[in-house]
Amino acid sequence: METATPFMDKKEHYRHQLPHFQQSGQAYFVTWCLKDAIPPKALERYTIQIANLLTEIDLAKKAKADDKFIAQLKLDYHLARKKYIKAFGDLLHLQEHSIVNLAKEANLAVVKEALTYWEGKRLENYAFCIMSNHVHWVFRLYEKDENDKPVYLQDIMQSVKRTSANKINKLENRTGALWQKESFDTTIRDDKHLYNAINYTINNPVAAGLVKNWWEWKGTWCIEGMGAAVGCSGL
């Protein structure tokens, strides 16, 4: 398994097209997709709106603006993120053909191996779902790794995406980028949010009309004991 570049700058907040927040010991819900799964400019207006709102919030805080004004900006930001998430999901399910099929047995095995590689060493897995053109993943990062160093989300994502891309490219006899550079990550706030993230993840194939029950999809996994309401059996 490949690891991240040793000299990568680690920040609790960083931004590509979307803002990203990372902290050791935190639980996350992460989605990422194949390079051709989303048209390059399909979500541009949402990303611009989100970036502008974050800038406005930062400026308002520095100017010590009224608390109600800042609260409204934050509400607008969260609503914009919700719209982005829905549009992102809708576009993923609309696409019928991709550069590769992640749900193919050999590719599925590669992605599963990448998602579980750091289990017990740098993270705890809660659930994942590997669809034909994207992946949903719910997990908790450890605060420290096996070498007593902080664990960062960007390192885990770089490791998983790079290793799986190299192996799948070999299997598919192709070269070039496999994944979109951007991943959509959400910090898990509480138990209810964790439940919702897991429920959304494992039921993705059901919502797409591919199976009737979540456990029928070979690319879905959920940790045992996460709650009867979710219905995970630790397959």
Give pLDDT tens digits for 105-138: 999 999 999 999 999 999 999 999 999 999 999 9
Q: Which residues is 34 bridged to in the sheet?
A: 179
pLDDT confidence bin for 35, thresholds 50/70/90: confident
* Shared domain check, 142 and 90: no
pTM recorded for the entire structure: 0.73
* Shared domain check, 159 and 145: yes
Task: Please report how many Cα atoms fall inside a 13 Å half-sphere around the Cα of residue 166, on the Cβ side.
Answer: 9
Residue for token digits 């490219």?
169
Structure tokens at 59: 């400026």
Structural domain count, the chain? 2
Full domain range(s) for residue 73: 44-94
Q: Which uninterrupted H or E stretch holds 138?
A: strand 134-141
* Shared domain check, 124 and 217: yes
User: Which residues does 42 contact at the CB level (< 8 Å), separation at least 6?
Assistant: 87, 91
pLDDT confidence bin for 13, thresholds 50/70/90: very low
Say which CATH number the domain at 176 has: 3.30.70.1290
Structure tokens at 188: 């898990």
